[in-house]
Structure 1
Amino acid sequence: MAEVLGKVAVRQDSQADLSALRSAVRDYDLPGAREVHEGQIEATLETVGRLRDDVQVTRLLRMLPKLLRDATAYAHAANTAEAWAALSDVYSTVYWVAARHRWMDMADLAVTRQRWAIEQQANPLGAALAARDRAGAYLNGGDFEAGLTMVDRAIAAAQSRLSGQERAFAVGVLNLRGMTLAGRLKDKAEGKREAERHIRSAAEAAEWFDRDWNRHHMIFGPRNTATHVLATRLDLGKPREALSAAEDIDTVLEGLPPTRIAPTHINMARAQLDLGDRDGALENLTVAWEAAPQMARIHPMWREAFRVVSSLHRRSNPELVRLSKLSGVAL
């Protein structure tokens, strides 16, 4: 992805934060002499979770270097499953930030560190979620088949080691990643078969929840499953099916954070463009921008859809001009 779309540069005042984060990732087994308390890590992780949900990328990048060093020191000192799980969660957010910017070297390293952290103490749920992020690294690298293999292995492990809602959550999160990978397969017939398998499994897992769970910075339940089904139908070349899944989109998105709202409206805009509805596409791109401007500004699909919409308009459009100025995408 980085080769095709290019990496996203950080703002000048964030360069030091990025350098500090890279240094902290390198020092994964060097905890240093710092005293850190469990409550301190938990409180900061809660803040990080809110920032991630709200796609506050700049603030996350500012917080992550210190949090990663603190979580590393605490995990080595406490050596409990909870402490290592907290460190794994931090690496998950490092991966998330890196993947958004298409810093693929850091993304790959983060999922490796995440897996290392969660394996220090037995933690089946944490292992499933780490596998989900590792499969995401395969997705970003374009190796969709290997990513699907990773997902299937992790689902089998979760089904044998977990029970109840924790098992449903782990399996469901992995299914969401699986359907995304399946939708990107070059062989669309095979992609449809794989996608439908994961969609069915996700629907079964979602029956355990009356509302979506947000655990370890990941979301699963009936609503987030619906947003992934929409995206997968689109990736399989079925824009009408994708929009059909979005008929009651306001209800679907109710209660979900901006990190899910914005991508869903981006996908709706892509589907509308495929069907020639440029005005509807512009409206959804605007909604996506308003929901999560820091995501839209760096999201390759938002930027590409905006370029297509702007090229189709034959006359000046105030909303196009406004979004162009905000995003930096020239008309």
Structure 2
Amino acid sequence: MSAADDSTNTTELAPGENLAVLRKARALTQAQLARKANISLSLLSKIEIGDRALTPAAAAAVGKAMGLSMAEVQGKATVAKREEQDLVELRAALRDYDLPTDGAPTGPRLKANLATVQRYRKKVDVSRLLRALPTLLRDATGYAYTANTTQAWADLSQVYSTVYWLAARHRWMDMAELAVTRQRWAVEQKPTPMAAAVAARDRAGTYLNFGDVERGLGVVDRAIAEAQRDLAGTDQDLAICILNLRGMTLAGRLPDKKEARREADRHIRSAVAAADGLGNRDRQVLGLTAGPQNTVLHQLATYVDLGRPQEALGLVDVLPAALDGLPPTRVAPTHISMARAQLDMGDRDGALRSLASAWDVAPQLARIHPMGREVFRVLSSLHRRGNPELNRLARMAGMAL
């Protein structure tokens, strides 16, 4: 597969702009698409011209009307020319999942390399992560076959989880689906309940990106029942918290807003209860963060998806404590969620400050984050062109004002 094939349908456009291109390519008028997607013509028009942000729920609705996934509407993120070969090699390593190479590293060396890659992920150093993953995936595969221990297969499943994370961030959904399939395969070689819970959480994430939130919620609820059956104590609290964080995000995007609120509140309550059993600080498990802090951050983002920006902004007083010590992978998306809530409340200056914070914390993530790009697009449409902060972000984002 060539690098060009890997980047098919990639775009530097913000999601709302990409939606307009996709609609016109299908010879649909705004009125026709609005009717098929069951959204107002006024909203669709505002989204396309940049007066309103394209929300995940709206992206899923218009995508379904055009036979596309939510991720396709938002547009696949591009990679730099120098990174195209890394992407080709990562796809090849995914294909070779049952073809272990000779010369697998020792356990300690593999652990050190896995820790390095997890640091890249937490810091959202996407370029280094993409460069390191093909070799790590091949090394972890070889070691799992050689050692054939529960820990070796759990480590391999964690590498696949990181591949899923990278692919989902870029909306490379073919790779994301393949990664979670391989992740589940690795877990099944020497099953552990915690690794199975993380695999289910990631699988539900693919449904999230495709906009099929009902099935994603089914995956989450089944995994929660399995965790309650197979785990106890702190491990059970960790698994249930992780799964409910995914559940509240999925629930917040249900098309029926009454059902969305009910389901989101159910998962929020369950996540809070599980987090209470973990103490005052978040914990790490298989590359993920779970506990009271991350629960607050997911709650804020879910309130924004539910169209409850006032409740999201009501968490601002507890936000510093929730963000304290968490990695940029969690901090930057929270600032983007805050920016979206502030934009919904008409606070353009506050939204710009929050968006700038996201860029300063994790510029590589902010560049590819669909809502980060959307909020920037709307702010550039509504704000004064001479705003120095807006100009700075435009240069960092590579997006025109």
TM-score range, shorter chain: over 0.9
Aligned to 1:11: 80
Aligned to 1:321: 391
Alignment partner of 1:33 is 2:112 = no
Alignment of 1:104-143 (within 5 A): 104-143=173-212
Q: Which runs of 5+ in 2 are unaligned?
A: 1-69
Aligned to 1:271: 341
Aligned to 2:326: 256
SS for the counterpart of 1:214 is: strand
CA distance in 2, matches of 1:279, 1:254: 24
User: Residue 93 of structure 1 is aligned with which of 133, 142, 162?
Assistant: 162
Alignment partner of 1:292 is 2:369 = no
Computing the radius of gyration from Cα coordinates, the structure with the larger value is 2
Q: Can you list the C-alpha shifts for 1:141-167, whole angstroms capped at 9, x where unaligned?
A: 110000000000000001110111111
CA distance in 1, matches of 2:149, 2:199: 17
Shift of 1:45: 1.1
Alignment of 1:121-270 (within 5 A): 121-210=190-279, 211-270=281-340
CA distance in 2, matches of 1:187, 1:16: 43
CA distance in 2, matches of 1:209, 1:77: 35
Q: Could you tell me the TM-score, scaled by structure 2's length?
A: 0.82
Of structures 1 and 2, the one with the larger relative CO (CA 8 A, separation 6+) is: 2
The percent identity for this pair of structures is: 62
Alignment of 1:75-90 (within 5 A): 75-90=144-159
Q: Can you list the C-alpha shifts for 1:109-164, whole angstroms capped at 9, x where unaligned?
A: 00000000001112010000000000001101110000000000000001110111
User: Residue 172 of structure 2 is aligned with which of 84, 98, 103?
Assistant: 103
CA distance in 1, matches of 2:387, 2:102: 58
Q: Could you tell me the TM-score, scaled by structure 1's length?
A: 0.99
Aligned to 1:306: 376
Q: Can you list the C-alpha shifts for 1:78-122, whole angstroms capped at 9, x where unaligned?
A: 111101000000000000000111111000000000000001112
The 10-residue stretch of structure 1 (138-147 or 313-322) with the greater mean CA deviation from structure 2: 313-322
CA distance in 1, matches of 2:182, 2:191: 16
- Count of matched residue positions in the alignment of Structure 1 and Structure 2: 331
Q: Report the aligned-residue RMSD.
A: 0.8
CA distance in 1, matches of 2:367, 2:264: 29
SS for the counterpart of 2:316 is: coil
Shift of 1:246: 2.3
Contact 1:230 1:246 in 2 (8 A): no
Contact 1:51 1:57 in 2 (8 A): yes
Aligned to 2:37: none
Read off the aligned partner of 1:72 and give its amino acid letter.
Answer: T
**Structure 2 CA distance for partners of 1:36 and 1:314, relative to 1, 3 Å:** closer
Read off the aligned partner of 1:106 and give its amino acid letter.
Answer: M
CA distance in 1, matches of 2:319, 2:194: 30
Aligned to 2:400: 330
Shift of 1:315: 4.2
